[in-house]
A and B are shown apart, each in its own frame.
Chain A
Amino acid sequence: MSKVVGIDLGTTNSLVAYVRDGRPEVIRDAAGDGLVPSVVSIDAGGTVFVGREAQRRLLTDAGRTAYSVKRFMGKGFDDVRGEANRFPFAISGDAVVRIGLGDRTFTPPEISAFVLRELKHRAEAFFAAQGEVDHEVDRAVITVPAYFNDAQRTATRDAGRIAGLEVLRIINEPTAASLAYGLDKRHTGVIAVYDLGGGTFDISILRVEDGVFQVLSTNGDTHLGGDDIDHLLMEHIGRGFGQDVRKAVIQAKWDLSERDETTIQVAGSAYSRRVTRAEFESLIAPIVERTLAPCRQALADAGLQPAGIDEVVLVGGSTRIPLVRRRVEELFGKTPHSQLNPDEVVALGAAVQADILVTGNREMLLLDVTPLSLGIETMGGVVSKIILRNSTIPATGSEMFTTGVDNQTAVDIHVVQGERELVADNRSLARFKLRGIPPMPAGLPRVQVQFQIDANGILSVTARELRTEVEQTIEVKPSYGLTDEQVEQMLLDSFEHAEADFDARLLIEARNEAESVIQATEKSLRDPDFAAIEQQELAPGERQKIESIVAGLKMVLNSKDRETIQKWTKALNDATLHLAEVMMNRSVRAALTGKNVNDA
């Protein structure tokens, strides 16, 4: 049986997790790192880099490197025009944003598909290493911000399809987090999940009882997160928006979660500036403040006072910021939980949900809601709401339509999402054309249109003329996003590139292995005991030989010649075999005599 996984497709980082013996676990690389930076880079030769490798290229080849692409999912160019100049890569498009990397352009789902494919490969390699016969990963649960609209959810599902994954379910990040938390103890009560990530903010309020995780209300802002804090800091220090500056302010932001002051240092420049936590906090206070109004609205929609919340859970890297924790604690009057790693908890929950779907395990059940009201355009550009926000999904709504002209056979329906009265103030989802209405005098046909929001929070529409019982055909024109045909084409394209991508992957893996052997070797050579070891146990010239191979390997490391890199890596491995053995024996001896090697 092929494998299923849970994936957190984040703005900054992505993770993949699976369930082993009833417990969810994050799948890590050899170095124990679970995070794959959601960064994709394509060099002049067309080689695709994903994750850490791509992140490094942000400093050397920013114009060909895309990050924070989640902000563009399900958006049109007009939505993002204002912030396009924040990014080093080219942003264009119309109803779908297009991202230019070198001479190729990609839609956000295609970029996200590279990240998903990387996670898929990571999981497959992991299962293969575990000795699983069928280690293919072809199905996944993918998480999205709870406040994502239909177009953003659909774009995420498209990304999964392009990556060759059957998306079993799209689930909301805060709800996924609550599933992961709910595993540890048999929770009963009302939980608020505050999720501030790299680019999005969600608040969800859930009631948990008898293993049923029922979302009462959700709210948020899909354009608010750590990215905005970084941008503010960059503006504040006024050294431009280059990647070197971005890296420096992100480091400072991290430091200030631990310390009361730090120094912003931009690599490769003399620039250096001290920042105190107080200064940082007064700078970002407005951003933290913007998360509180959605929290209050979610409380009101759940019909609760802050005192009605039993537990508060923090999710997302930005909740490490002390000011965020303080403000959340003040609002809810509870010390928030953060026992689980806020970066990993969403992926763990996604894995739990994936396991529920394939095993039919009925111990837990997630009942989520639709974050935004669904409505249709009526006379005068006014919205008539069909399904209200915070309705438990799946949900249905229906509306009766008729014709305005004799023998009219088609009707147009404009569907929007949002809370405002006027169509223009809401998000246009799609225009539907109902065809095949039997010719009748005006006003006589009774076309019942049924709106179905499924458990993914994604809309589908069916229609039936009630007098003739004729099922109507519906032509859908999504306002933002890709058509099914475009997604199919992208899937085919990705196969064409798959071979080139595969070679590139092998090269990257060879480099990574070379780097880790170099690192391990250099660590041994730097060992405080090394001089003694060399004198007592190494053959004459052994150290020099190792050093020269390290130097040789470093020279070929950045070439594209995978076989040469592998040859040198093997040479270094062989040359250090004896040294490794000696070091190992020493530590075993030290352990047996109860003495720490470093104490010697």
Chain B
Amino acid sequence: MHFCPQCSKILSLGRHGDFFAFLGVPRKLNLDAADLERRFRELSRQFHPDYFYNATPAERRASLERSSYLNDAYRTLKNPVTRIEYLLKLEGLATAGAEHGGSGRASVPPALLEEVFALNEELDDIRGARSAGAPRDEIAARLARARLPIERKRDEHARDLEALAAKWDASGDRDTLAALHDRILERNYINNLLATIEQEANA
């Protein structure tokens, strides 16, 4: 409920549901993208500060809060990965922090040990070759090769996440949720590895 049933004024955002409830969609990981977008546009047309320019300060504040919340909700649910992360947070399995690289780098997820080990060795080698004056093309080619197994792993993960998401939508069980949690952490770690290779390529 976004407006007062009696006076139809916009309500302040004191109590609100989670992003799913706010947008009026089921708490599922597979959402109808077109439906989500349509709801976002409809609610934007109801809340946006543009339409409260002549309203009271309280209504203007409410419109700003509600629009901001709507935008945050839409942005989060639109993207399948942030949608999973958000659901995990709602279910008490936070993955926050991992995305900033800090804590994500701290411990290597067991499933990635092999790849990380190989990559670090190769990167050390490449750095050595670089300082020995190896041609740029050669360095670039080696880095491109080093990306391949990591990218393969990333695609594997993307498929895994999809399957797990479908499974959770059907069953809603904790085990699936825990698996999703691990996959997300691994995924963030993989992205950090790719960023490291990228950095090396630009060095």
Query: Which B46-72 residues have a C-beta within 8 angstroms of A?
Result: 48-51, 53-54, 64, 67-69, 71-72
Q: Taking the nearest CB of chain A, how far is it from the CB of B67, in angstroms?
A: 5
Once the chains bind, are B45 and A360 in contact (CB under 8 Å)?
no
From B49, B51, B53, B69, A362 is in contact (CB under 8 Å) with B51
A475 beta carbon closer than 8 Å to chain B:
no
Once the chains bind, are A357 and B64 in contact (CB under 8 Å)?
no
Q: Taking the nearest CB of chain B, how far is it from the CB of A500, in angstroms?
A: 35
Once the chains bind, are B54 and A358 in contact (CB under 8 Å)?
yes
How far does the alpha carbon of A392 sit from the alpha carbon of B72 in the complex, in Å? 8
Nearest to B66 among chain A residues (CB) is A394
Nearest to B63 among chain A residues (CB) is A394
B74 beta carbon closer than 8 Å to chain A:
yes
A452 beta carbon closer than 8 Å to chain B:
yes
Once the chains bind, are B64 and A454 in contact (CB under 8 Å)?
yes
Which residues of A are found within 8 Å of B9, using beta-carbon distances? none
Nearest to B46 among chain A residues (CB) is A362
How far does the alpha carbon of A367 sit from the alpha carbon of B45 in the complex, in Å? 10
B16 beta carbon closer than 8 Å to chain A:
no
Q: Taking the nearest CB of chain B, how far is it from the CB of A425, in angstroms?
A: 13
Once the chains bind, are B74 and A365 in contact (CB under 8 Å)?
no
Q: Taking the nearest CB of chain B, how far is it from the CB of A353, in angstroms?
A: 8
Once the chains bind, are A365 and B71 in contact (CB under 8 Å)?
no
A455 beta carbon closer than 8 Å to chain B:
yes
Once the chains bind, are A395 and B72 in contact (CB under 8 Å)?
yes
Once the chains bind, are B45 and A212 in contact (CB under 8 Å)?
yes
**B: number of interface residues (CB 8 Å):** 18
A509 beta carbon closer than 8 Å to chain B:
no
Which residues of B are found within 8 Å of A362, using beta-carbon distances? 45, 51
Once the chains bind, are A394 and B64 in contact (CB under 8 Å)?
yes
How far does the alpha carbon of A362 sit from the alpha carbon of B54 in the complex, in Å? 14
From A209, A353, A396, B72 is in contact (CB under 8 Å) with A396
Once the chains bind, are B100 and A394 in contact (CB under 8 Å)?
no
B188 beta carbon closer than 8 Å to chain A:
no
Nearest to A453 among chain B residues (CB) is B68
Interface residues on A, range: 20 to 34
Which residues of A are found within 8 Å of B130, using beta-carbon distances? none
A392-B75 CB under 8 A given contacts A212-B41, A384-B100, A385-B100: yes
A392-B50 CB under 8 A given contacts A362-B45, A365-B45, A385-B100: no
Which residues of A are found within 8 Å of B41, using beta-carbon distances? 209-210, 212, 214
B44 beta carbon closer than 8 Å to chain A:
yes
A365-B50 CB under 8 A given contacts A212-B44, A384-B100, A385-B100: yes
A324 beta carbon closer than 8 Å to chain B:
no
Interface centre among A168, A358, A362 (most CB of B within 10 A): A362
Nearest to B71 among chain A residues (CB) is A392
Once the chains bind, are B44 and A360 in contact (CB under 8 Å)?
no
Cβ proximity bits A180-218 to B, threshold 8 Å, 1 near / 0 not:
000000000000000000000000000001101010000
**Top 10 A-B residue pairs of the complex, sorted by shortest distance between their CB atoms:** A392-B71, A394-B68, A396-B68, A357-B53, A212-B41, A455-B49, A394-B67, A360-B51, A395-B71, A394-B64
Other 19 A-B pairs with CB < 8 A, given A210-B41, A212-B45, A455-B64: A168-B53, A356-B50, A357-B50, A360-B51, A360-B54, A362-B45, A365-B44, A365-B48, A365-B50, A366-B50, A367-B48, A385-B100, A392-B74, A394-B64, A394-B67, A395-B72, A396-B69, A452-B64, A455-B49
A-B contact pairs, 20 of them (CB 8 A): A168-B53, A210-B41, A212-B44, A214-B41, A358-B53, A360-B54, A362-B51, A365-B50, A366-B50, A392-B74, A393-B71, A394-B64, A394-B67, A395-B71, A395-B72, A396-B72, A452-B68, A454-B49, A455-B50, A455-B64
